[in-house]
Amino acid sequence: MSSRNRALAIAIQPVRDVFTAPNTTTDLLIGMSNARIARDPVTLADDTYTGAVFQNADQVIGTQDSITFTAKLKPPSSLPALNAFVLGRLLQAAKFAELRLAAAIGPEALGAWVDSKTPTLGASAAGTASLYKGYPLIIGAAAYKTALTAIRSYDAAKHAGLLEDWGSTPATNYTIPSFIGYTRDITSADPPLLSFKFWRAGRRYEMMNGAVTGLRYRRPTSTPTRPGYPEMEFTVSGIVTNVVTDPAPTIPPLGAMPVTKDGKEILDYKKIGVDTASIDFGLQTERPPNMNQADGADAPQLTGGTANGTIQQQAYLPSYLDIDALAAAGTYVPYFQQWGLSAGNAIQVLIPDARAGYPNDNANGNVDMDDVGLYIDVIDRNLVINFPF
Amino acid sequence: MTETPTCPPLSGAVDLDVLHERIAAGMLPEDAVTEATTSNAPQSADVPAENVGAPTDAADALKSAPASEAEAKPARTRS
């Protein structure tokens, strides 16, 4: 059977050690590729004497199960209910909070601008500091890709700092659109566990107690010579409880998908040309020992993580963007990616306060590029993915 | 001196419509966040059936949303 005969369905598992069967249609992950399941045997060396010069082979006492796969970063087809977006379930298990707004705020008139980076929201907005941090925002009536931006900071005086310099201070309307968003959750609450059905060439593996143990975001800029998809690379670990004969279900096609061009990419309020941007979430998990469990350990627990980004950007003159000075000063600067041309088919990735590393000469091609590290601290809503509608 | 109301870190699955409604009604941001949030943290399979759904620790207790409006905490404002 073809190695392309693969599919993955995912459900949030409310109870530890109890498999929650994902729906074979509604819980399918759309846009998955490069999927592999690993059942690594756990072995113990048998050091007992045999009366011969040889030793017995290792004993096989269990297995460590994991699935690696790549998911295309594609918005849901419409604003999903809480916990319903399958890719979002994976992000939640990777310790993201899911934020859902159905009732847009506005359109209504902006107040006065503090400066060209900071408009003041109007009467419908609440004066609660940080409330709208990380939210998408539409300013004015220009083309969607231009009018759409995002909020870096928000204070009780309704000043909404942007992740970009608007370049002017227009008296116009604003809207906070409906959206589903994901922000790294910095509280100590446990993330959800997941249950999986993974189909491979006529077989179906059922896995429970699934935790995301590896997550990397990679977004190439789609150029005429090197088009590319934005993707998230996942590794999930859990316990395979069942393997049965079952052909893979049909997975809907990707359909219209926002392409990583004709968007915005901005670091420290300067537009930058980037080849590839990536974020490694550096997740650390561990399974606590527990002999009451069938395989001697509890479900994986998230025990740590450090998020770091890397951007391969054009090497700019210091007069435009002085990365060396930013690295030396260690100041927080906003980093903003946005692509897609219409509501429901756009994506934003925000790091409101990143610290830049020193640029590393990337002399691999004909264009002079720098590799720039982004250091992402543990601040509320400091790592955000938005799907505005 | 009046303390500036500040939204606490968001966690779990947050219904921002509920959060905004509660804040507009004068509820403190932390209470509004609690009411707007569904915790997806897994329950232990060892919890007796009668306790399933009940808070298992202080953190879960903070996140347990009331089942209905009638159970919602009365709105409070800082003076």
C-alpha span between B52 and A267 (Å, rounded):
47
Q: Which chain B residue is nearest to residue A179, measuring alpha carbons?
A: B16
Phi and psi at B71, nearest 5°, equal -90, -5
- For residue A199, the distance in angstroms to the closest alpha carbon of chain B comes to 25
What pLDDT is attached to residue B55?
Answer: 45
Torsion from C-alpha of A256, A260, A264, A269, nearest 10 degrees = 150
Token match 């600067």: residue?
A333
C-alpha span between A288 and B26 (Å, rounded):
43
Q: Contact at 8 Å (CB) between A194 and A69?
A: no
Count helices and strands in chain A by DSSP H and E runs = 3, 24
Which chain A residues touch B6 with a CB distance below 8 Å?
A: 128-130, 156
Q: Contact at 8 Å (CB) between A233 and A259?
A: no
- For residue B70, the distance in angstroms to the closest alpha carbon of chain A comes to 22
Residue A65 structure tokens? 């199960």
The answer to whether A12 contacts B7, with C-beta atoms less than 8 Å apart, is no
B51: pLDDT strictly greater than 60: no
C-alpha span between A65 and A38 (Å, rounded):
6
What pLDDT is attached to residue B52?
Answer: 44
So what's the ipTM on this one?
A: 0.95
- Mean pLDDT, chain B, rounded, equals 72
Per-residue confidence at B72, pLDDT binned at 50, 70, 90?
very low
What pLDDT is attached to residue B59?
Answer: 42
The answer to whether B7 contacts A128, with C-beta atoms less than 8 Å apart, is yes
C-alpha span between A205 and A273 (Å, rounded):
43
The residues, any chain, with a CB within 8 Å of residue B48's CB and separated by 6 or more, are none
What pLDDT is attached to residue B73?
Answer: 44
The answer to whether A189 contacts B11, with C-beta atoms less than 8 Å apart, is yes
C-alpha span between B23 and B11 (Å, rounded):
17
Q: Is A201 helix (H, G, I), strand (E, B) or coil?
A: coil
Angle between helices B29-36 and B16-24 (to 10 degrees): 150
Under DSSP, the state recorded for B34 is H
The answer to whether A187 contacts B11, with C-beta atoms less than 8 Å apart, is yes
Q: How far apart are the first and last CA of chain A?
A: 40
Residue A53 structure tokens? 């010069």
Q: Which chain B residue is nearest to residue A20, measuring alpha carbons?
A: B42
Asked if B24 has any chain A CB less than 8 Å from its own CB, the reply is yes
C-alpha span between A333 and B28 (Å, rounded):
30
What pLDDT is attached to residue B2?
Answer: 65
Which chain A residues touch B11 with a CB distance below 8 Å?
A: 97, 185, 187, 189
Per-residue confidence at B47, pLDDT binned at 50, 70, 90?
low
Token match 């069942």: residue?
A242
Q: Contact at 8 Å (CB) between A20 and A14?
A: yes
C-alpha span between A217 and A382 (Å, rounded):
15
Q: Contact at 8 Å (CB) between A276 and A244?
A: no
C-alpha span between A367 and A275 (Å, rounded):
11
What pLDDT is attached to residue A109?
Answer: 98
Q: What's chain B's length in residues? A: 79
Q: How far is CA A158 from CA A86, A108, A127, A333, B71, in A?
A: 34, 14, 6, 21, 31
What pLDDT is attached to residue B4?
Answer: 85
Q: What is the pTM of this model?
A: 0.91
Q: In the A/B pair of chains, how many CB contacts fall below 8 A?
A: 101
- Residue A27 CA to its chain's centroid (Å): 18
Under DSSP, the state recorded for A61 is E
- For residue B27, the distance in angstroms to the closest alpha carbon of chain A comes to 11
Per-residue confidence at B22, pLDDT binned at 50, 70, 90?
very high
Residue B41 structure tokens? 């943290």
Collect the ranges in chain A with pLDDT lower than 70: none
Could you report the per-residue pLDDT of A75-109, keeping only the tens digit for each? 999 999 999 999 999 999 999 999 999 999 999 99
Q: Contact at 8 Å (CB) between A150 and A134?
A: yes
Q: Which chain B residue is nearest to residue A379, measuring alpha carbons?
A: B9
C-alpha span between A225 and A366 (Å, rounded):
14
Nearest to B14 among A97, A102, A128 (CB): A97
C-alpha span between A51 and A245 (Å, rounded):
44
Query: Closest Cα partner for B76 from B15, B11, B30?
Result: B30
What pLDDT is attached to residue A151?
Answer: 98
Which chain A residues touch B40 with a CB distance below 8 Å?
A: 12, 14, 83, 92, 191-192
Q: Contact at 8 Å (CB) between B34 and B22?
A: no
Under DSSP, the state recorded for B8 is P
